[in-house]
Structure 1
């Protein structure tokens, strides 16, 4: 009787591991490298391109404001770009490493260094002209006054 090499869950569900089946069909051929393939590999080497990290944020409201907070420790105020429209906020910046450390010298490497950004769709329109952004103890806080849709602006008509 042939031995079944599938896992317990594969036997239970009747599924087949597609990777194992495909591995048997792969034929290995030597790759011929030319200058054209070398330059194409360099042009498409996406692993060496710096990725932009996504900034984690808290977004909450008070009766009169929408507030966005983000941890941007290690970033100076002049290294931050905050763009505000009536319905969206975009944050951009860059965290610089203080010194270079070899990969083999790390026990843990969890901090993100480099460019980061985040675009946040706002739950309601805000007054972008009255927005305020402050940086304190590595926390960026953006206060966005809500637009009062029920407010009626009276305009006095002038006689010319």
Structure 2
């Protein structure tokens, strides 16, 4: 009957999503594009140039380590403004002209910038940095905690 009160499912409607060949095709296309950026750095997403960082804290300091392989002191700038420490730099590409049928570059290059929020009151003179073996180490002295002071209340006459 065409006017059944209970809808009848067809075999196609009962097909699981995983069994649908178009779902499998979409997953494979997504996987292909995800891997494409890793195979060709020029097409990689912008975060590929972001240096990896570790931030740790002791009682008196904040310590930041950033991986900057191949960079030297002249390639990196460190600034402090509005309680934000910013590491900027640029990894330059070395061009090599050769008579070959192809050219493959697997190393990434370009400009980058990373920022870390610091506690209020940090002063530029309380920040020190050094770079060695491709790792930038920044040490920030924590500001002294603000002291509260008890205020005496006098009785009005």
Band the TM-score falls in, shorter-chain normalisation: 0.5 to 0.7
1:149: how far off?
A: 1.4
Which runs of 5 or more structure 2 residues have no equivalent in the other structure? 1-9, 27-41, 149-157
Do residues 9 (structure 1) and 17 (structure 2) align? yes
Deviations 1:23-56 (Å, cap 9, x if unpaired)?
A: xxxxxxxxxxxxxxxxxxxxxxxx99xx683222
Give the Cα separation in 1 of the matches to 2:16 and 2:74. 57
String of CA shifts for 1:72-102, please: whole Å, max 9, x gaps: 1111211211011362111110112334599
Other-structure match for 1:28 = none
Q: What is the 5 A alignment of 1:1-160? A: 4=12, 8-9=16-17, 53-85=49-81, 87-100=83-96, 106=104, 109=106, 111-122=107-118, 124-125=119-120, 126-150=122-146
- Aligned pair in 2 of structure 1 residues 8, 66: CA closer, same or farther (>3 Å)? same
Which TM-score applies when normalising by structure 2?
A: 0.56
What TM-score do the two structures reach when normalised by structure 1? 0.55
How has the CA–CA distance of structure 1 residues 9 and 88 changed in structure 2, closer, same or farther, with 3 Å as cutoff? same
d(CA) in 2 for partners of 1:92, 1:132: 16
Task: Give CA deviations for 1:123-155 in whole Å, capped at 9, x if unaligned.
Answer: x23232221110011100111100011458xxx
Which secondary structure state, in structure 2, belongs to the residue aligned with residue 83 of structure 1? Answer: strand
Q: Which has the larger radius of gyration?
A: 2
Structure 1 unaligned blocks of 5 or more: 21-46, 153-160
Q: For this pair of structures, how many residues does the alignment match?
A: 116
